[in-house]
Amino acid sequence: MEYKDIIYKTPVKHGLINYENTYKDFNWKNINRYFDHFSGDGVNIAHEAIDRHAENSCKDKIALHWEDEDNVKKQYTFSDIKRQSDKLANVLRNLGVEKGDRIFLFLPRVPELYISIIAIAKVGAIAGPMFSAFGPEAIKDRLHDSEAKVLITTPELNQRVDEIREVLPALKHILLVNAEHNLKKDEISYESETNKASESFKIRWVDPEDYLFILYTSGTTGKPKGVTHVHNDMVSHYITTKWVLDLREDDVYWCTADPGWVTGTVYGIWGPWLNRISQVVYNGRYDAEKWYSIIEKYKVTVWYTAPTALRMLMKAGDKIIKKYDLSSLRYICSVGEPLNPEVIKWGLRVYNLPIHDNWWQTETGSIMIANYPCLPIKPGSMGKPFPGVCAKIINAKGKELSPGEHGLLALKRGWPSMLRRIWSDKKKYNEYFRISGWYTTGDTAYMDNDGYFWFVGRADDVIKTAGHRVGPFEVESALVEHEAVAEAGIIGIPDTERSEIIKAFIVLNHGYKPSPNLKKEIQEFIKKRLAAHAYPREIEFTKDVPKTRSGKIMRRLLKARDLGLPTGDISTLEE
Protein backbone atom coordinates (compact mmCIF):
# COMPACT_ATOMS: atom_id res chain seq x y z
CA MET A 1 0.00 0.00 0.00
CA GLU A 2 1.30 3.47 -0.86
CA TYR A 3 1.12 6.50 1.37
CA LYS A 4 -1.13 8.32 -1.09
CA ASP A 5 -3.60 5.39 -1.13
CA ILE A 6 -4.81 5.94 2.40
CA ILE A 7 -6.28 9.26 1.47
CA TYR A 8 -8.69 7.45 -0.84
CA LYS A 9 -11.73 5.50 0.24
CA THR A 10 -11.58 1.72 0.13
CA PRO A 11 -14.90 -0.19 0.07
CA VAL A 12 -15.98 -1.45 3.49
CA LYS A 13 -18.35 -4.38 4.04
CA HIS A 14 -18.63 -4.54 7.85
CA GLY A 15 -19.42 -2.24 10.76
CA LEU A 16 -19.75 1.41 9.86
CA ILE A 17 -20.25 1.28 6.12
CA ASN A 18 -21.40 4.79 5.29
CA TYR A 19 -20.20 7.49 7.68
CA GLU A 20 -22.23 10.40 6.32
CA ASN A 21 -25.60 8.62 6.26
CA THR A 22 -25.06 7.02 9.65
CA TYR A 23 -24.04 10.31 11.19
CA LYS A 24 -27.15 11.98 9.78
CA ASP A 25 -29.63 9.37 11.02
CA PHE A 26 -27.95 8.24 14.21
CA ASN A 27 -29.89 7.96 17.47
CA TRP A 28 -28.27 6.60 20.64
CA LYS A 29 -31.56 5.01 21.69
CA ASN A 30 -31.31 2.57 18.79
CA ILE A 31 -28.21 1.03 20.35
CA ASN A 32 -30.09 -0.24 23.41
CA ARG A 33 -31.52 -3.07 21.35
CA TYR A 34 -28.09 -4.72 21.24
CA PHE A 35 -28.37 -5.45 24.96
CA ASP A 36 -30.15 -8.26 26.68
CA HIS A 37 -31.44 -6.37 29.61
CA PHE A 38 -31.94 -2.72 28.91
CA SER A 39 -35.30 -2.26 30.50
CA GLY A 40 -37.20 -1.04 33.53
CA ASP A 41 -36.03 -4.02 35.64
CA GLY A 42 -32.55 -2.58 35.62
CA VAL A 43 -29.31 -3.16 33.80
CA ASN A 44 -25.86 -4.39 34.57
CA ILE A 45 -22.90 -3.99 32.24
CA ALA A 46 -21.31 -7.18 33.65
CA HIS A 47 -24.30 -9.19 32.47
CA GLU A 48 -23.98 -7.74 28.97
CA ALA A 49 -20.19 -8.14 28.79
CA ILE A 50 -19.84 -11.62 30.32
CA ASP A 51 -22.88 -13.47 31.66
CA ARG A 52 -25.07 -13.37 28.59
CA HIS A 53 -22.22 -14.78 26.46
CA ALA A 54 -21.45 -17.44 29.07
CA GLU A 55 -25.07 -18.50 28.99
CA ASN A 56 -25.26 -19.14 25.26
CA SER A 57 -23.34 -20.94 22.56
CA CYS A 58 -20.31 -18.72 23.21
CA LYS A 59 -19.68 -20.10 26.67
CA ASP A 60 -16.53 -21.89 25.53
CA LYS A 61 -15.20 -19.03 23.46
CA ILE A 62 -11.91 -17.62 24.79
CA ALA A 63 -12.52 -14.26 26.43
CA LEU A 64 -8.95 -13.75 27.64
CA HIS A 65 -5.59 -14.98 26.41
CA TRP A 66 -3.18 -13.97 29.16
CA GLU A 67 0.61 -14.00 29.21
CA ASP A 68 3.21 -12.40 31.44
CA GLU A 69 6.88 -11.43 31.20
CA ASP A 70 8.00 -14.89 32.32
CA ASN A 71 6.01 -16.58 29.55
CA VAL A 72 3.39 -17.93 31.97
CA LYS A 73 0.19 -18.32 29.97
CA LYS A 74 -3.46 -18.69 30.96
CA GLN A 75 -6.72 -18.85 29.07
CA TYR A 76 -10.22 -17.98 30.24
CA THR A 77 -13.46 -18.67 28.41
CA PHE A 78 -16.51 -16.46 28.90
CA SER A 79 -17.91 -19.07 31.29
CA ASP A 80 -14.62 -19.14 33.26
CA ILE A 81 -14.84 -15.38 33.71
CA LYS A 82 -18.48 -15.67 34.70
CA ARG A 83 -17.77 -18.37 37.28
CA GLN A 84 -14.78 -16.64 38.79
CA SER A 85 -16.42 -13.24 38.93
CA ASP A 86 -19.53 -14.80 40.52
CA LYS A 87 -17.34 -16.33 43.23
CA LEU A 88 -15.58 -13.05 43.90
CA ALA A 89 -18.90 -11.20 43.87
CA ASN A 90 -20.04 -13.55 46.66
CA VAL A 91 -16.86 -12.81 48.61
CA LEU A 92 -17.45 -9.07 48.25
CA ARG A 93 -21.08 -9.37 49.27
CA ASN A 94 -20.08 -11.42 52.36
CA LEU A 95 -17.64 -8.68 53.29
CA GLY A 96 -20.58 -6.31 53.42
CA VAL A 97 -19.97 -4.56 50.10
CA GLU A 98 -23.08 -2.75 48.99
CA LYS A 99 -24.23 -0.90 45.93
CA GLY A 100 -22.27 2.33 45.53
CA ASP A 101 -19.30 1.25 47.69
CA ARG A 102 -15.88 2.03 46.22
CA ILE A 103 -13.62 -0.97 45.65
CA PHE A 104 -10.15 0.00 44.48
CA LEU A 105 -7.72 -2.13 42.53
CA PHE A 106 -3.97 -1.83 42.75
CA LEU A 107 -2.74 -4.70 40.63
CA PRO A 108 -0.52 -5.45 37.68
CA ARG A 109 -2.36 -6.72 34.61
CA VAL A 110 -3.08 -10.11 36.18
CA PRO A 111 -6.28 -12.05 35.35
CA GLU A 112 -7.62 -11.23 38.86
CA LEU A 113 -7.73 -7.55 37.86
CA TYR A 114 -10.08 -8.27 34.98
CA ILE A 115 -12.20 -10.71 37.00
CA SER A 116 -12.43 -8.21 39.88
CA ILE A 117 -13.69 -5.40 37.68
CA ILE A 118 -16.49 -7.64 36.44
CA ALA A 119 -17.28 -8.86 39.99
CA ILE A 120 -17.42 -5.31 41.36
CA ALA A 121 -19.96 -4.33 38.70
CA LYS A 122 -21.99 -7.44 39.54
CA VAL A 123 -22.51 -6.33 43.14
CA GLY A 124 -23.36 -2.81 41.99
CA ALA A 125 -20.23 -1.34 43.55
CA ILE A 126 -17.86 1.15 41.93
CA ALA A 127 -14.44 0.01 40.70
CA GLY A 128 -11.39 2.26 41.00
CA PRO A 129 -8.49 0.83 39.00
CA MET A 130 -5.07 2.30 39.84
CA PHE A 131 -1.92 2.09 37.73
CA SER A 132 0.67 -0.18 39.38
CA ALA A 133 3.45 2.42 38.96
CA PHE A 134 1.80 4.70 41.53
CA GLY A 135 3.62 5.55 44.73
CA PRO A 136 2.09 6.10 48.21
CA GLU A 137 1.21 9.74 47.55
CA ALA A 138 -0.82 8.97 44.42
CA ILE A 139 -2.52 6.01 46.10
CA LYS A 140 -3.39 8.07 49.16
CA ASP A 141 -4.98 10.81 47.05
CA ARG A 142 -7.27 8.26 45.40
CA LEU A 143 -8.21 6.03 48.32
CA HIS A 144 -8.74 8.98 50.61
CA ASP A 145 -10.83 11.06 48.27
CA SER A 146 -13.07 8.15 47.23
CA GLU A 147 -13.29 6.71 50.76
CA ALA A 148 -12.63 3.29 49.33
CA LYS A 149 -13.93 0.43 51.48
CA VAL A 150 -12.01 -2.48 49.95
CA LEU A 151 -8.66 -2.64 48.17
CA ILE A 152 -7.60 -5.56 45.99
CA THR A 153 -3.83 -5.73 45.59
CA THR A 154 -0.74 -7.96 45.87
CA PRO A 155 1.53 -8.28 48.95
CA GLU A 156 4.31 -6.53 47.03
CA LEU A 157 2.23 -3.50 45.99
CA ASN A 158 0.56 -3.45 49.39
CA GLN A 159 3.85 -2.33 50.93
CA ARG A 160 3.21 1.09 49.37
CA VAL A 161 -0.23 1.14 50.99
CA ASP A 162 1.21 0.22 54.40
CA GLU A 163 2.94 3.60 54.53
CA ILE A 164 -0.36 5.48 54.28
CA ARG A 165 -2.71 2.99 55.90
CA GLU A 166 -3.41 5.09 58.97
CA VAL A 167 -4.80 8.03 56.99
CA LEU A 168 -7.40 5.79 55.34
CA PRO A 169 -10.06 5.15 58.00
CA ALA A 170 -12.71 4.16 55.44
CA LEU A 171 -10.61 1.26 54.15
CA LYS A 172 -12.01 -1.85 55.86
CA HIS A 173 -10.55 -4.82 53.96
CA ILE A 174 -7.54 -5.59 51.81
CA LEU A 175 -7.89 -8.61 49.53
CA LEU A 176 -4.44 -9.92 48.68
CA VAL A 177 -3.80 -11.83 45.49
CA ASN A 178 -1.12 -14.52 45.86
CA ALA A 179 -0.66 -14.26 49.62
CA GLU A 180 -1.48 -17.33 51.60
CA HIS A 181 0.53 -16.54 54.75
CA ASN A 182 1.26 -13.78 57.24
CA LEU A 183 -1.96 -11.87 56.77
CA LYS A 184 -2.58 -8.88 58.99
CA LYS A 185 -5.82 -8.08 60.80
CA ASP A 186 -7.78 -6.55 57.93
CA GLU A 187 -6.09 -8.59 55.17
CA ILE A 188 -7.78 -11.49 53.40
CA SER A 189 -6.45 -14.00 50.91
CA TYR A 190 -8.11 -13.59 47.53
CA GLU A 191 -7.55 -17.23 46.61
CA SER A 192 -8.72 -18.89 49.81
CA GLU A 193 -11.87 -16.76 49.95
CA THR A 194 -12.79 -17.26 46.31
CA ASN A 195 -12.05 -21.01 46.51
CA LYS A 196 -14.56 -21.31 49.34
CA ALA A 197 -17.19 -19.10 47.73
CA SER A 198 -20.29 -20.31 45.94
CA GLU A 199 -20.39 -20.24 42.14
CA SER A 200 -23.91 -19.04 42.09
CA PHE A 201 -24.48 -15.34 42.37
CA LYS A 202 -27.59 -13.27 41.75
CA ILE A 203 -26.47 -10.20 39.88
CA ARG A 204 -27.50 -6.83 41.26
CA TRP A 205 -29.65 -5.04 38.68
CA VAL A 206 -29.04 -1.30 38.80
CA ASP A 207 -30.24 1.86 37.16
CA PRO A 208 -28.36 2.85 33.98
CA GLU A 209 -27.36 6.02 35.83
CA ASP A 210 -25.77 4.16 38.75
CA TYR A 211 -22.01 4.52 39.07
CA LEU A 212 -19.70 1.92 37.55
CA PHE A 213 -16.10 3.13 37.81
CA ILE A 214 -13.97 6.04 38.94
CA LEU A 215 -10.72 6.93 37.28
CA TYR A 216 -8.64 9.68 38.74
CA THR A 217 -7.10 12.01 36.21
CA SER A 218 -5.09 15.21 36.26
CA GLY A 219 -6.00 18.81 35.65
CA THR A 220 -3.94 21.98 35.89
CA THR A 221 -4.85 22.77 39.46
CA GLY A 222 -5.24 20.67 42.55
CA LYS A 223 -5.02 16.96 43.13
CA PRO A 224 -6.30 14.35 40.64
CA LYS A 225 -10.03 14.43 39.96
CA GLY A 226 -12.23 11.36 40.39
CA VAL A 227 -13.95 11.11 37.02
CA THR A 228 -17.01 8.97 37.62
CA HIS A 229 -18.82 6.89 35.00
CA VAL A 230 -22.09 4.93 34.98
CA HIS A 231 -23.47 1.63 33.67
CA ASN A 232 -25.12 3.52 30.83
CA ASP A 233 -21.60 3.99 29.38
CA MET A 234 -22.09 0.55 27.85
CA VAL A 235 -24.08 2.11 25.02
CA SER A 236 -21.05 4.10 23.89
CA HIS A 237 -18.55 1.37 24.73
CA TYR A 238 -20.36 -1.16 22.63
CA ILE A 239 -20.90 0.81 19.47
CA THR A 240 -17.60 2.72 19.39
CA THR A 241 -15.73 -0.57 19.77
CA LYS A 242 -17.64 -1.99 16.87
CA TRP A 243 -17.34 0.96 14.52
CA VAL A 244 -13.99 2.52 15.41
CA LEU A 245 -11.94 -0.53 16.40
CA ASP A 246 -13.84 -2.43 13.70
CA LEU A 247 -14.07 -5.55 15.85
CA ARG A 248 -15.86 -8.64 14.54
CA GLU A 249 -16.73 -12.02 16.10
CA ASP A 250 -13.64 -13.87 14.90
CA ASP A 251 -11.10 -11.19 15.77
CA VAL A 252 -8.26 -11.55 18.26
CA TYR A 253 -7.80 -8.14 19.75
CA TRP A 254 -4.94 -6.65 21.73
CA CYS A 255 -5.23 -3.37 23.60
CA THR A 256 -1.83 -2.50 25.07
CA ALA A 257 -3.20 -0.05 27.67
CA ASP A 258 -3.33 -0.73 31.41
CA PRO A 259 -6.80 -0.57 33.06
CA GLY A 260 -5.32 2.05 35.40
CA TRP A 261 -5.90 4.38 32.45
CA VAL A 262 -9.21 4.85 30.73
CA THR A 263 -8.22 3.15 27.46
CA GLY A 264 -7.37 -0.01 29.38
CA THR A 265 -10.69 -0.01 31.25
CA VAL A 266 -13.00 0.89 28.39
CA TYR A 267 -11.29 -0.75 25.41
CA GLY A 268 -9.29 -3.36 27.35
CA ILE A 269 -12.33 -4.73 29.23
CA TRP A 270 -15.82 -3.44 28.55
CA GLY A 271 -15.83 -2.58 24.84
CA PRO A 272 -14.36 -5.85 23.53
CA TRP A 273 -16.31 -8.09 25.92
CA LEU A 274 -19.60 -6.33 25.24
CA ASN A 275 -18.86 -7.30 21.63
CA ARG A 276 -17.98 -10.88 22.65
CA ILE A 277 -14.41 -10.57 21.41
CA SER A 278 -11.40 -12.71 22.40
CA GLN A 279 -8.74 -10.43 23.73
CA VAL A 280 -5.08 -10.71 24.61
CA VAL A 281 -3.54 -9.22 27.75
CA TYR A 282 0.21 -9.03 28.09
CA ASN A 283 1.32 -8.35 31.65
CA GLY A 284 4.76 -6.91 31.11
CA ARG A 285 6.76 -3.93 30.13
CA TYR A 286 7.21 -2.68 26.61
CA ASP A 287 9.73 -4.67 24.63
CA ALA A 288 9.71 -4.60 20.83
CA GLU A 289 10.52 -8.29 20.33
CA LYS A 290 8.09 -9.42 23.01
CA TRP A 291 5.34 -7.29 21.52
CA TYR A 292 5.82 -8.67 18.04
CA SER A 293 5.96 -12.19 19.42
CA ILE A 294 2.57 -11.61 21.10
CA ILE A 295 1.04 -10.58 17.78
CA GLU A 296 2.55 -13.61 16.07
CA LYS A 297 1.68 -16.14 18.79
CA TYR A 298 -1.95 -15.15 19.29
CA LYS A 299 -2.51 -14.16 15.66
CA VAL A 300 -3.71 -10.74 16.74
CA THR A 301 -5.95 -9.19 14.11
CA VAL A 302 -6.82 -5.82 15.68
CA TRP A 303 -4.31 -3.83 17.70
CA TYR A 304 -5.04 -0.69 19.75
CA THR A 305 -1.97 1.12 21.02
CA ALA A 306 -0.41 4.55 21.53
CA PRO A 307 1.84 6.88 19.54
CA THR A 308 4.78 6.64 21.99
CA ALA A 309 4.75 2.84 21.68
CA LEU A 310 4.61 3.09 17.90
CA ARG A 311 7.49 5.58 17.88
CA MET A 312 9.51 3.23 20.10
CA LEU A 313 8.79 0.37 17.71
CA MET A 314 9.84 2.58 14.82
CA LYS A 315 13.11 3.28 16.63
CA ALA A 316 13.63 -0.43 17.32
CA GLY A 317 13.96 -0.75 13.55
CA ASP A 318 12.57 -2.70 10.63
CA LYS A 319 14.92 -5.65 10.94
CA ILE A 320 13.17 -6.99 14.04
CA ILE A 321 9.82 -6.92 12.25
CA LYS A 322 11.13 -9.33 9.62
CA LYS A 323 11.77 -11.93 12.32
CA TYR A 324 8.06 -12.23 13.10
CA ASP A 325 4.99 -13.23 11.16
CA LEU A 326 2.62 -10.32 11.61
CA SER A 327 0.37 -11.27 8.71
CA SER A 328 -2.63 -11.80 11.05
CA LEU A 329 -2.89 -8.03 11.66
CA ARG A 330 -5.67 -6.39 9.72
CA TYR A 331 -6.43 -3.18 11.63
CA ILE A 332 -4.43 -0.79 13.84
CA CYS A 333 -5.65 2.10 15.99
CA SER A 334 -3.87 4.61 18.17
CA VAL A 335 -4.88 7.07 20.88
CA GLY A 336 -3.69 9.37 23.62
CA GLU A 337 -1.27 11.77 22.00
CA PRO A 338 -0.73 13.31 18.59
CA LEU A 339 0.11 10.65 16.01
CA ASN A 340 2.64 12.11 13.63
CA PRO A 341 2.27 11.45 9.88
CA GLU A 342 5.81 9.95 9.77
CA VAL A 343 4.60 7.13 12.00
CA ILE A 344 1.62 6.48 9.74
CA LYS A 345 3.96 6.45 6.77
CA TRP A 346 6.29 4.02 8.52
CA GLY A 347 3.35 1.81 9.57
CA LEU A 348 2.21 1.58 5.98
CA ARG A 349 5.65 0.47 4.90
CA VAL A 350 6.33 -2.09 7.61
CA TYR A 351 2.87 -3.42 8.50
CA ASN A 352 1.26 -2.64 5.18
CA LEU A 353 -1.61 -1.08 7.15
CA PRO A 354 -2.67 2.48 7.95
CA ILE A 355 -2.79 3.46 11.63
CA HIS A 356 -6.15 4.93 12.61
CA ASP A 357 -5.81 7.75 15.11
CA ASN A 358 -8.68 8.57 17.44
CA TRP A 359 -9.33 11.12 20.13
CA TRP A 360 -11.10 10.99 23.49
CA GLN A 361 -10.54 11.56 27.21
CA THR A 362 -11.06 9.95 30.61
CA GLU A 363 -14.04 12.27 30.97
CA THR A 364 -15.69 11.42 27.64
CA GLY A 365 -15.72 7.71 28.52
CA SER A 366 -15.48 6.57 24.90
CA ILE A 367 -13.99 7.56 21.56
CA MET A 368 -15.39 10.88 20.36
CA ILE A 369 -13.42 11.68 17.19
CA ALA A 370 -11.94 9.00 14.99
CA ASN A 371 -10.65 7.72 11.71
CA TYR A 372 -12.90 4.94 10.43
CA PRO A 373 -12.30 2.09 8.01
CA CYS A 374 -14.82 3.62 5.61
CA LEU A 375 -13.31 7.11 5.51
CA PRO A 376 -10.10 8.32 3.90
CA ILE A 377 -7.41 9.16 6.44
CA LYS A 378 -5.72 12.52 6.43
CA PRO A 379 -2.44 11.71 8.17
CA GLY A 380 -2.03 13.95 11.23
CA SER A 381 -5.78 14.41 11.72
CA MET A 382 -7.76 12.81 14.56
CA GLY A 383 -10.62 12.21 12.11
CA LYS A 384 -14.32 13.01 12.37
CA PRO A 385 -16.84 12.97 15.26
CA PHE A 386 -18.45 9.65 16.09
CA PRO A 387 -22.14 9.44 15.08
CA GLY A 388 -24.23 10.98 17.86
CA VAL A 389 -21.34 13.21 18.93
CA CYS A 390 -21.44 16.90 18.06
CA ALA A 391 -17.90 18.32 18.19
CA LYS A 392 -17.17 21.96 17.39
CA ILE A 393 -14.43 24.52 17.67
CA ILE A 394 -15.60 27.42 19.80
CA ASN A 395 -14.18 30.54 21.42
CA ALA A 396 -14.27 31.36 25.13
CA LYS A 397 -17.80 32.82 24.77
CA GLY A 398 -19.17 29.70 23.11
CA LYS A 399 -19.25 31.11 19.57
CA GLU A 400 -18.64 28.47 16.91
CA LEU A 401 -15.57 29.21 14.82
CA SER A 402 -15.16 28.69 11.09
CA PRO A 403 -13.14 25.90 9.49
CA GLY A 404 -9.42 26.56 9.81
CA GLU A 405 -9.76 28.77 12.91
CA HIS A 406 -7.99 27.54 16.03
CA GLY A 407 -10.09 27.44 19.20
CA LEU A 408 -11.39 25.29 22.03
CA LEU A 409 -12.49 21.78 21.20
CA ALA A 410 -15.97 21.37 22.70
CA LEU A 411 -18.69 18.72 22.61
CA LYS A 412 -22.49 19.19 22.88
CA ARG A 413 -23.28 17.58 26.20
CA GLY A 414 -25.34 14.43 26.54
CA TRP A 415 -23.69 11.38 24.89
CA PRO A 416 -24.18 8.16 26.91
CA SER A 417 -20.66 7.82 28.40
CA MET A 418 -20.14 11.45 29.44
CA LEU A 419 -18.73 11.75 32.97
CA ARG A 420 -21.50 12.09 35.56
CA ARG A 421 -19.55 13.44 38.46
CA ILE A 422 -16.18 14.45 39.82
CA TRP A 423 -16.13 12.51 43.05
CA SER A 424 -16.39 14.91 46.02
CA ASP A 425 -15.93 18.02 43.87
CA LYS A 426 -19.03 19.52 42.31
CA LYS A 427 -17.20 22.72 41.44
CA LYS A 428 -14.63 20.90 39.32
CA TYR A 429 -17.44 19.04 37.56
CA ASN A 430 -19.24 22.29 36.77
CA GLU A 431 -16.07 23.78 35.31
CA TYR A 432 -16.34 21.40 32.36
CA PHE A 433 -19.73 22.91 31.53
CA ARG A 434 -18.91 26.56 32.16
CA ILE A 435 -19.82 27.50 28.56
CA SER A 436 -23.56 26.99 28.34
CA GLY A 437 -24.56 23.84 26.41
CA TRP A 438 -20.98 22.65 25.95
CA TYR A 439 -18.61 20.22 27.53
CA THR A 440 -15.18 21.83 27.21
CA THR A 441 -12.31 19.43 26.64
CA GLY A 442 -9.29 21.53 27.63
CA ASP A 443 -7.77 20.88 24.18
CA THR A 444 -7.33 23.36 21.36
CA ALA A 445 -7.88 22.20 17.80
CA TYR A 446 -9.27 23.22 14.43
CA MET A 447 -11.61 21.67 11.92
CA ASP A 448 -10.83 21.71 8.19
CA ASN A 449 -13.26 22.25 5.31
CA ASP A 450 -14.00 18.52 5.09
CA GLY A 451 -14.99 18.28 8.77
CA TYR A 452 -11.74 16.60 9.92
CA PHE A 453 -10.37 17.67 13.32
CA TRP A 454 -6.72 18.51 13.92
CA PHE A 455 -5.18 18.62 17.39
CA VAL A 456 -3.29 21.80 18.27
CA GLY A 457 -2.46 21.53 22.01
CA ARG A 458 -3.78 21.82 25.53
CA ALA A 459 -5.52 25.02 26.61
CA ASP A 460 -4.21 24.42 30.14
CA ASP A 461 -0.97 23.21 31.75
CA VAL A 462 -1.76 19.49 31.72
CA ILE A 463 1.18 17.41 30.46
CA LYS A 464 0.94 14.36 28.20
CA THR A 465 4.09 12.27 28.53
CA ALA A 466 4.28 8.90 26.78
CA GLY A 467 0.47 8.93 26.72
CA HIS A 468 0.16 9.48 30.48
CA ARG A 469 -1.72 12.50 31.73
CA VAL A 470 0.20 14.33 34.46
CA GLY A 471 -0.86 17.41 36.41
CA PRO A 472 1.92 19.91 37.17
CA PHE A 473 0.50 20.65 40.61
CA GLU A 474 0.80 17.02 41.73
CA VAL A 475 4.47 16.91 40.76
CA GLU A 476 5.19 20.33 42.28
CA SER A 477 3.53 19.29 45.56
CA ALA A 478 5.53 16.07 45.70
CA LEU A 479 8.77 17.92 44.88
CA VAL A 480 8.50 20.39 47.74
CA GLU A 481 8.24 17.46 50.13
CA HIS A 482 11.89 16.74 49.38
CA GLU A 483 14.06 18.36 52.04
CA ALA A 484 16.28 20.15 49.49
CA VAL A 485 13.42 21.72 47.52
CA ALA A 486 12.06 25.14 48.46
CA GLU A 487 9.95 25.81 45.38
CA ALA A 488 9.21 24.01 42.13
CA GLY A 489 7.56 24.81 38.80
CA ILE A 490 6.65 22.06 36.34
CA ILE A 491 6.15 22.23 32.58
CA GLY A 492 6.00 19.79 29.68
CA ILE A 493 8.59 20.27 26.95
CA PRO A 494 8.38 18.71 23.48
CA ASP A 495 10.04 15.34 22.96
CA THR A 496 10.22 13.41 19.69
CA GLU A 497 9.50 10.04 21.27
CA ARG A 498 7.26 10.75 24.27
CA SER A 499 5.31 13.76 22.89
CA GLU A 500 6.36 15.68 26.00
CA ILE A 501 8.69 15.14 28.92
CA ILE A 502 8.38 16.70 32.34
CA LYS A 503 10.80 19.49 33.20
CA ALA A 504 11.16 20.89 36.73
CA PHE A 505 12.51 24.30 37.70
CA ILE A 506 13.69 23.99 41.26
CA VAL A 507 14.69 26.56 43.86
CA LEU A 508 16.83 24.88 46.52
CA ASN A 509 16.59 25.42 50.24
CA HIS A 510 19.37 27.20 52.07
CA GLY A 511 22.37 24.93 52.51
CA TYR A 512 21.80 22.79 49.36
CA LYS A 513 23.91 23.08 46.23
CA PRO A 514 22.94 22.03 42.71
CA SER A 515 24.66 18.83 41.64
CA PRO A 516 24.01 15.88 39.29
CA ASN A 517 23.65 13.65 42.34
CA LEU A 518 21.00 15.85 43.87
CA LYS A 519 19.10 15.79 40.56
CA LYS A 520 19.15 12.01 40.58
CA GLU A 521 18.08 11.87 44.20
CA ILE A 522 15.13 14.19 43.53
CA GLN A 523 14.09 12.15 40.47
CA GLU A 524 14.15 8.91 42.47
CA PHE A 525 12.17 10.60 45.23
CA ILE A 526 9.35 11.46 42.79
CA LYS A 527 9.40 8.03 41.13
CA LYS A 528 8.94 6.38 44.50
CA ARG A 529 6.61 8.85 46.18
CA LEU A 530 4.34 9.85 43.36
CA ALA A 531 4.64 7.61 40.31
CA ALA A 532 7.34 6.05 38.17
CA HIS A 533 6.05 7.76 35.02
CA ALA A 534 5.65 11.24 36.56
CA TYR A 535 9.21 12.15 37.49
CA PRO A 536 10.95 15.13 35.85
CA ARG A 537 13.38 13.81 33.25
CA GLU A 538 14.89 17.30 33.16
CA ILE A 539 15.67 19.43 36.16
CA GLU A 540 16.96 22.98 36.10
CA PHE A 541 18.04 24.59 39.37
CA THR A 542 17.09 28.24 39.40
CA LYS A 543 17.07 31.21 41.76
CA ASP A 544 13.33 31.77 41.56
CA VAL A 545 10.17 30.51 39.92
CA PRO A 546 8.01 33.27 38.31
CA LYS A 547 4.73 33.80 40.16
CA THR A 548 1.75 36.10 39.89
CA ARG A 549 1.18 38.63 42.66
CA SER A 550 -1.33 36.22 44.13
CA GLY A 551 1.35 33.52 44.32
CA LYS A 552 0.40 31.26 41.38
CA ILE A 553 3.29 29.73 39.46
CA MET A 554 3.40 31.19 35.93
CA ARG A 555 4.06 27.95 34.08
CA ARG A 556 3.24 29.53 30.73
CA LEU A 557 6.04 32.00 31.28
CA LEU A 558 8.45 29.26 32.35
CA LYS A 559 7.59 27.36 29.21
CA ALA A 560 7.85 30.36 26.88
CA ARG A 561 11.24 31.27 28.32
CA ASP A 562 12.47 27.69 28.13
CA LEU A 563 11.39 27.22 24.53
CA GLY A 564 12.39 30.76 23.44
CA LEU A 565 8.80 31.70 22.58
CA PRO A 566 7.09 35.10 23.05
CA THR A 567 6.27 35.52 26.75
CA GLY A 568 2.85 37.17 26.18
CA ASP A 569 1.16 39.22 28.88
CA ILE A 570 3.28 39.29 32.03
CA SER A 571 1.59 42.23 33.73
CA THR A 572 0.57 40.08 36.70
CA LEU A 573 4.14 38.89 37.31
CA GLU A 574 5.31 39.36 40.89
CA GLU A 575 8.10 41.96 41.09
* Cα–Cα dist 208/349, whole Å: 45
CB of 118 to ligand PRX, least distance (A): 21
Number of other residues whose CB lies within 10 A of the CB of residue 303:
27
First to last CA, the chain: 59
Residue 332 bridge partners (DSSP)? 303, 355
The residue count for the chain: 575
Burial class (CB in 10 A: 0-12, 13-18, 19+), 133: middle
Measured from the CB atom, the residue of 122 and 469 that comes closer to ligand PRX is: 469
CB of 349 to ligand PRX, least distance (A): 21
Does residue 20 sit in helix, strand or coil? helix
Measured from the CB atom, the residue of 175 and 281 that comes closer to ligand PRX is: 281
Measured from the CB atom, the residue of 360 and 541 that comes closer to ligand PRX is: 360
CB of 165 to ligand PRX, least distance (A): 28
CB of 270 to ligand PRX, least distance (A): 14
Burial class (CB in 10 A: 0-12, 13-18, 19+), 404: exposed
Measured from the CB atom, the residue of 263 and 275 that comes closer to ligand PRX is: 263
Measured from the CB atom, the residue of 287 and 460 that comes closer to ligand PRX is: 460
Buried b (16+ CB within 10 A) or exposed e, 454-475: bbbebbbbbbbbbbbbbbbbbb
CB of 215 to ligand PRX, least distance (A): 8
CB of 361 to ligand PRX, least distance (A): 4
Measured from the CB atom, the residue of 323 and 413 that comes closer to ligand PRX is: 413
Using Cβ positions, the residue closest to ligand PRX within the complex turns out to be 362
Measured from the CB atom, the residue of 406 and 458 that comes closer to ligand PRX is: 458
* Cα–Cα dist 85/88, whole Å: 5
Residues contributing to the site for ligand PRX (CB under 6 A): 217, 262-263, 335-338, 357-362, 382, 441-443, 455, 458, 464, 469
User: Which H or E run contains 281?
Assistant: strand 278-283
Measured from the CB atom, the residue of 453 and 541 that comes closer to ligand PRX is: 453
* Cα–Cα dist 88/507, whole Å: 50
DSSP 474: H
DSSP 97: -
CB of 237 to ligand PRX, least distance (A): 13
CB of 336 to ligand PRX, least distance (A): 4
Which distant-in-sequence residues (6+ apart) come within 8 Å of 45 by Cβ? 121, 212, 231, 233, 234, 237, 270, 274
Measured from the CB atom, the residue of 67 and 500 that comes closer to ligand PRX is: 500
Which distant-in-sequence residues (6+ apart) come within 8 Å of 164 by Cβ? 136, 139, 140, 143
CB of 453 to ligand PRX, least distance (A): 9
